[in-house]
A and B are shown apart, each in its own frame.
Chain A
Amino acid sequence: MEGRIVKLVLDHMTIVRDHFSLIADGTFSEGIHLVSGDVGSGKSTLAFAIMGLISCESGTVSRHNIGPAMLSFQFPEYHITGMTLEEECLSWGVPWEEFISSSDFHGKRDQSPFSLSRGELAQFYVSCFLNRHDDLLLLDEPFGSLDCDAKKKVCDRLSYRTTGITIIFTHERAILPSVDRIWEITDGMLFDRGTVPDAIRRWTGAPSLIKKLIAEGKIPSNISYDDILEAVCRT
């Protein structure tokens, strides 16, 4: 990975479904990207198309120097292919010992993945993904089914991912990780709002608290919970 410049280029990618279309242009470079948009705006569709799991009407998706890539589904149970958590870890190419050193699943090695709640399963998979060190990691609604503490933990884990391209597709508005770039899907188009912190001003669908802070001239340095808290407390 070192010395290689990884890049994902969407060149007028057009996805057309029954009553829906999405056009995406842009270059995703190394770092953490947030793709925000309302429910039904096409975030999951875009993630599936980038991963090559659904076809595009026109345009291209080019991967430059990108090796292993992975998409985390919104509904984590679809990932289950193992009978135990250990088998499941191994199916992702992650040894249990390596996985357990960075997760909260002690003593659950032989437990069935079906015995976990959806929230636990989501946390389990995020831990698996972050142990894989993929060049391209797409996370489709990684905060769904999680409580506030679990969301913060996921955000914390994401901050340790310093290499590769990470794209988070979410409509989460309260607890988000620190990101490098913000993208937005509105009216069937993907818009690049630029790098953070400047992107925060241009983020039309920003959470209301962030909009209020901008109006008061207290622009947060990033969009994480701690950054927002710092801006709120700023005098």
Chain B
Amino acid sequence: MQDVRIRICASVLLCYAAFINIYGAAAALVWWLLFTPRFVIIHRVRIVISMLIVIGIISLILQVNDASGFSYFMRMLAIILIGLWLAAAYQPGEFLRFFVWIGGNHIGFELGVMAEMAMQSFSTLLFDLDHIRMSLHMKGIPVTIKNIIPTANLLIHKELARAKDNAELLAIRGYHHGGRLTPVFMYDRMDIVALLGALLVAVIAIFPFVNFLYSGIEVFRGLL
């Protein structure tokens, strides 16, 4: 999917649909299977597995308490997979173009710069985590809560230092408020089909006609 506007719009619709009920989550998962490269985009399998384990534990607790664990797991799974796809499909500069398109050259540009910086921080954070993991491995230190504290300290220090460097860089280059950008977007027919598919998913979630159909079948059976 080339157009970031369609990608973000589809993601918002799908996450909303997955969040409100299990029908939406199931439909969002079908959409994910049809319109994304699926598991090919997942490079950091360990992180995904860790997230799924945490969600699995919470789901189990919910299932035991009020039988809502399965629904919770499905909804969170759909949201995570859509989020991973959105992050993996990101190309540098896209969020700046998107926000300028939405909010113009002042507020939009500011929001776009912030979004781009956040994405940049995210990728450097992953690089930092890789190196910290290697260092712990070489020292033979197990990953425990006690050992993680200095690691978190390191990440915060590095992130603050980078934020300071970025702020200084923007100031030196004369950045004050907003900027000028004429965003250009490319899209193809499949982008439109995927967007329509996401709209359909949202409709399924908002109007759970599966329920309606099921009731209809029950009524029909009663008549017979």
Interface of A toward B, CB cutoff 8 Å: 48, 51, 53, 70-71, 73, 75, 77-83, 91-92, 114
Q: How many A-B residue pairs have CB under 8 A?
A: 41
Given A83-B150, A114-B153, A78 contacting B139 (CB threshold 8 A): no
Instruction: Give CA–CA (A48, B153) in the complex, Å.
Output: 25
Place the interface of chain B in its size category: 10 to 19
Instruction: Give CA–CA (A96, B157) in the complex, Å.
Output: 25
Whether B151 contacts A81 by the Cβ 8 Å rule is yes
Known pairs A81-B147, A91-B139 / 5 extra A-B pairs, C-beta < 8 Å = A78-B132, A78-B134, A78-B135, A80-B135, A81-B135
Q: 1/0 contact trace for B141-153 toward A, CB 8 Å?
A: 1000001011101
Whether B135 contacts A92 by the Cβ 8 Å rule is no
Instruction: Give CA–CA (A78, B137) in the complex, Å.
Output: 12
Given A73-B131, A75-B131, A114-B157, A81 contacting B150 (CB threshold 8 A): yes
Residue B158 interfacial (CB < 8 Å)? yes
Chain B contacts for A77, CB-based, 8 A: 154, 157-158
Whether A80 contacts B150 by the Cβ 8 Å rule is yes
**25 A–B pairs (Cβ distance < 8 Å), ordered by A:** A48-B134, A51-B138, A53-B137, A70-B138, A71-B138, A73-B131, A75-B131, A77-B154, A77-B157, A77-B158, A78-B131, A78-B132, A80-B135, A80-B153, A80-B154, A81-B136, A81-B147, A81-B151, A82-B150, A83-B149, A83-B150, A83-B153, A91-B141, A92-B139, A114-B153
Tell me how far the C-beta of B76 lies from the nearest C-beta in chain A, rounded to whole angstroms.
Answer: 32
Q: Which residue of B lies closest to A74 (CB)?
A: B131
Chain A contacts for B158, CB-based, 8 A: 77
Looking at chain B's contact residues, is the secondary structure mostly helix, strand, loop, or mixed? helix
Chain B contacts for A71, CB-based, 8 A: 138
Residue B128 interfacial (CB < 8 Å)? yes
Chain A contacts for B139, CB-based, 8 A: 81, 91-92
Q: Which of A78, A82, A91, A92 has the most B CB atoms < 10 Å from its CB?
A: A78
Interface of B toward A, CB cutoff 8 Å: 128, 131-132, 134-139, 141, 147, 149-151, 153-154, 157-158
Q: Which residue of B lies closest to A75 (CB)?
A: B131
Chain A contacts for B128, CB-based, 8 A: 78
Q: Which residue of B lies closest to A51 (CB)?
A: B138
Tell me how far the C-beta of B170 lies from the nearest C-beta in chain A, rounded to whole angstroms.
Answer: 23
Whether B134 contacts A53 by the Cβ 8 Å rule is yes
Tell me how far the C-beta of B177 lies from the nearest C-beta in chain A, rounded to whole angstroms.
Answer: 33
Chain A contacts for B135, CB-based, 8 A: 73, 78-81
Tell me how far the C-beta of B52 lies from the nearest C-beta in chain A, rounded to whole angstroms.
Answer: 24
Chain A contacts for B147, CB-based, 8 A: 81
Q: Which of A48, A51, A91, A92 has the most B CB atoms < 10 Å from its CB?
A: A91
A-B CB proximity, top 6 nearest: A78-B131, A53-B134, A79-B135, A80-B154, A81-B150, A114-B157
Instruction: Give CA–CA (A81, B139) in the complex, Å.
Output: 9
Tell me how far the C-beta of A215 lies from the nearest C-beta in chain B, rounded to whole angstroms.
Answer: 42
Instruction: Give CA–CA (A91, B135) in the complex, Å.
Output: 11
Q: Which residue of B lies closest to A78 (CB)?
A: B131
Instruction: Give CA–CA (A79, B138) in the complex, Å.
Output: 10
Instruction: Give CA–CA (A95, B154) in the complex, Å.
Output: 23
Instruction: Give CA–CA (A71, B136) in the complex, Å.
Output: 12
Tell me how far the C-beta of B152 lies from the nearest C-beta in chain A, rounded to whole angstroms.
Answer: 11
Q: Which residue of A lies closest to B129 (CB)?
A: A78
Instruction: Give CA–CA (A92, B151) in the complex, Å.
Output: 16
Given A114-B153, A114-B157, A81 contacting B134 (CB threshold 8 A): no
